[in-house]
Structure 1
C-alpha cells in the first residue's frame, strides 16, 4: 500500500494544478490518471481553445495555469492569450495539445509529483467521516493507496460517488446534463478565405468589435448554410451553427460541432453509445464542411478526441453551493480561493440551442473554499467541474482556466492541511489565501485580506 500526504485523483486541468501545488507545498503527492498523459478534457477530448484567463478588466487566472502557458509559448505550442474574434470571452488561448501534455508532465516531474498513469480509482473506504484507503487498478492489478487528504479532480466526481458523498446531476427540473461533444481537428483550411466570407456576410456570424484585427480566427456562425443543410437532411446534428477556432499550427482548426444529447456521462453503457453517436456525427460534419463552407474545400480530418468531451456530470453537494445568481451578480466571498468570469454558457440538454447569459453588475465572481468541502468525507476536497455548484453556475465555472485556479487552491489547501495534521475545513482561510497570493494567484485581495 502506497502512503502519501496528498492523493489527487484525475490528471486534468484541475488535478494537474492541484498535484503541482501540493508537491510544491511540501506534501508527498500522488497523482492518479486513467490515460497515459495529463491534461484531461483539453488534451484527451481536444476541448479548446482555453477560455478565459481574463475578465473584461483584468487577468483573473495566474499562478500555475499561467506558468504552464508561458512554458507552452516558449515551446511554440501557443501564441498566448489572444482576443476572441467571437467576442464570447475577453480572450482565448489556443494550445498545441501534444506540447501541452509534455509541459504538464514536466511541471509535475520537476515539482516532485509521483505519477500513476493508466490507473483508475475503483473504490474508497470511508470510516468515521474520513476516507482511509483508495482502491486503484492498473496493469499491475488491484492496489490500495492512502493519504490524510484526498482531492477529487476526476471531473465526474468518481471519488465523491465512491465515498458516499451526496451529489447532483444535470438541471434541477429533470436531471438532464449539458450535451457531450466530440471535438475534432482539421488541417488544410484556407483561413483567409474564411475571413473573406465573414467580411462579406457579417450578419451570418457572432463577432466581436474590431474582429477584423484579431490575430486568430474564431467562428460562431454560417447560420444560413447550417439551416439549409438541416432542412435538406444533409446535416442531422442538433446544432445551429459552425463553431471553430484556429490552432497554433498554420491552417489547422479545432471544430466544436457535434452534439450528443440526453446521455449520462456517468453511465457506462450511455457513455459507450455517446462515443458511437459522436464519431458518426464527426464524419457527417466533416462532409458538410468540405461541401458547404468556404475555405474547407480541401481541408482534411486530422483526428478526433481520445474520448468525447463532457461538460457536466456529478456535482458534489458541499458546504456551500455556488449559484447562478452568485455568478450573475459577481458575488464576493470572504473565503474566496479562485475567481471566474466566463458567461453562463448552457448548451441545451434537450435541443440544439445555446443559451449564454453574461454577468450583470461585475466583471468577475468569487468561488468560495466551502464549495470544495463536504460534510460526509471530511478529508476529501473537490476541484474542477465536480465542485459544489448548481447546473447554471457550473456552466460558467467548468472552463479549464477556472478549473486550474480551483485546482491550485485545492492542492495548496491539501498540502497545508496534511503537513499540519488537520482536516481541510480546519484550515485558516487567511493562511490559505496568503499562500495563494504568494504563489501569484489573483484573488482580488490585498495580502492582508479584502
Structure 2
C-alpha cells in the first residue's frame, strides 16, 4: 500500500496575516467533521483522479526545470511539468531576473544564448555578462517546450507526495482543476526550495544554522527612464564600452544617488542593467531572515520590498536631472529567493570542493562562480552588501550523486536545491549552473525511466554519451 510521506489527513490552518480568514468551500461543513484537537481540522478522505502518462515528472519550471524537461524529452522520455506561476522560467521571468550568471557552460546554455541573440532579446556580447528581456524569454521557453513535446501545466502546485516503501511513485497537485494525482517512474525536484523533496520525506538542510541566518530575498523591477544615455555612469551594460566605469564603482555611484533621497537601500550594492533602449532592470533591496517555506513571512517580505522600490524610485525621480521621468514599469510577480532547502543527496558538495577545485568522474558541471553570500542582516549590509568570506574558489565539479536523493528512490534534484553545504550553495546556485544541472538530471531521469532503472543505477558516462549524441555536450 502507498505510504504517505506527510500526514495529509491533518492540516493546520494558520491565521492569515494579510488576507484574513482562510475559507475553502467543500462538500462537508466544519461542523460535520470532528475536531479532535483545538486548532486543527481533519480533512475528509476522498478519491482523486489519477493520471499515468509520463516517464518523468518535473516539478518546477525555473531554469533547472526548463533544462531538465527539454533534455528528458529530447532523450526520448514522455515528460510532464508542473509550475505554480503563470509562465515558464521561474526567476528568469516571474522573478524578472533579466541577468544570467555562469552562463558560459556548453549545451542548452549556449543554445539559449543563440536563440536570445537571434530574437534580439539580449544586450551586449560578453559571455559572462548577459542581460535579456524577461517577456521575450517567456515566449521562447514555451516554444521550446512545444517543440520538444513536453506536456506542461501552469497555475499548478505540487502539494503532496506518496511512496511505496522508499520509492516515490505519486505526486498530488492543486490547481483550478482541483486536486489531481500523477504517477511516473522518475521525478525531478526543480522547485528551487526543495518542496518536492520535503514532501517526499527527504532530509534537508537550510540556511547556515538552525536559527536560519539565510541569505536575503530580493524583489526585482523593470524601470523606464526618459534617456538611458544620461544615466551612463549608473547603468550596467552587457558589453563594457572603452573608458566605462567598473561595475563595482557603478553600484557605489547608484547607492550615493539613492542616499541623496534620504534613504539608505536595504541592499547596499544596488544595480541597474539596460534591458532595451530606455527599459532598465533594477535590483536594490534585501529582505532578511525570511524562510522560503513560510508563506506569511514571504508575503510580508514582498509587501515591504515593493514599498521600498517605490520609495527609492519616487525619490530618484524627484532629484530630477537624469532621473526625470523615472518610473516603475513592473515589479516581479515572485520575490527572488536565494536560500531554500538543500535536499540530502548521495553526495554533498562542500566548501572543500570549491577550495580544492574538486574533480569527479561523474562531474556534471564545473562552476566557476565565486562564493556570493549577500548580507545576512541589515547591520551587515551597512559594511558589505555581499561577501565571499575570503574563500578563493577554483573551478570545481558537481557530481551526479549530488543530484540524486539519498532518502527517496526515483527522485532527482537540479538547481539550488541539490545536496550541498551553505558555502558551496552560495557559488553553484546561479542560473547558468542550474541549467547544466537540469540537463544532467533530465537525461539521467529519461534513461532510467525508459530502461526501468533507478537514477542511481545509471552511470554518468552513459548520460554524458547521450548528451553528446543530442548535441548538448562539447
TM range (shorter): 0.7 to 0.9
For the pair 1:365 / 2:396, whether they are aligned, the reply is: yes
1:313-342 deviation digits (Å, cap 9, x = unpaired): 111121111112312332211111112111
1:156 shift after superposition: 0.9
| From 270, 273, 276, the counterpart of 1:245 | 273
Structure 1 residues 214 and 38 mapped into 2: Cα distance closer, same or farther (>3 Å)?
Answer: farther
| From 11, 19, 34, the counterpart of 2:69 | 19
Q: Distance in 2 between matches of 1:139 and 1:270?
A: 25
1:373-423 deviation digits (Å, cap 9, x = unpaired): 122111000011100111111111111111011001101000000011000
| From 106, 111, 121, the counterpart of 1:77 | 121
Q: Distance in 1 between matches of 2:456 and 2:446?
A: 13
For the pair 1:2 / 2:29, whether they are aligned, the reply is: no
**Paired residue secondary structure (1:44):** coil
Q: Distance in 2 between matches of 1:226 and 1:71?
A: 34
Structure 1 residues 432 and 257 mapped into 2: Cα distance closer, same or farther (>3 Å)?
Answer: same
Could you say which residue in structure 1 is the equivalent of 2:445? 414
1:100-129 deviation digits (Å, cap 9, x = unpaired): 111111111110101111100010002211
Structure 1 residues 187 and 419 mapped into 2: Cα distance closer, same or farther (>3 Å)?
Answer: same
Q: Which range is displaced more, 434-443 or 130-139?
A: 434-443
Could you say which residue in structure 1 is the equivalent of 2:255? 226
For the pair 1:324 / 2:351, whether they are aligned, the reply is: yes
Q: Which range is displaced more, 69-78 or 254-263?
A: 69-78
User: Once superposed, what is the RMSD of the aligned Cα atoms?
Assistant: 2.7
Q: Contact conserved, 2:355 with 2:393, CA < 8 A, in 1?
A: yes
How many residue pairs get aligned? The number is: 419
For the pair 1:28 / 2:78, whether they are aligned, the reply is: yes
For the pair 1:303 / 2:330, whether they are aligned, the reply is: yes
**Paired residue secondary structure (2:366):** strand
**Paired residue secondary structure (2:416):** helix
Q: How does 1:37-116 map to 2 (within 5 A)?
A: 37-54=87-104, 61-79=105-123, 81-82=125-126, 91-116=128-153
Gaps of 5+ in 2: 1-49
Structure 1 residues 101 and 224 mapped into 2: Cα distance closer, same or farther (>3 Å)?
Answer: closer
Could you say which residue in structure 2 is the equivalent of 1:201? none
**Paired residue secondary structure (1:82):** coil
1:142 shift after superposition: 0.6
Q: Contact conserved, 2:370 with 2:392, CA < 8 A, in 1?
A: no
Q: Contact conserved, 2:464 with 2:473, CA < 8 A, in 1?
A: no
Q: Distance in 2 between matches of 1:395 and 1:216?
A: 27
1:354 shift after superposition: 0.9
Q: Which range is displaced more, 325-334 or 157-166?
A: 325-334
Could you say which residue in structure 1 is the equivalent of 2:386? 354
Structure 1 residues 274 and 361 mapped into 2: Cα distance closer, same or farther (>3 Å)?
Answer: closer
Q: Contact conserved, 1:62 with 1:442, CA < 8 A, in 2?
A: yes
| From 283, 289, 292, the counterpart of 2:310 | 283
Q: How does 1:370-409 map to 2 (within 5 A)?
A: 370-409=401-440
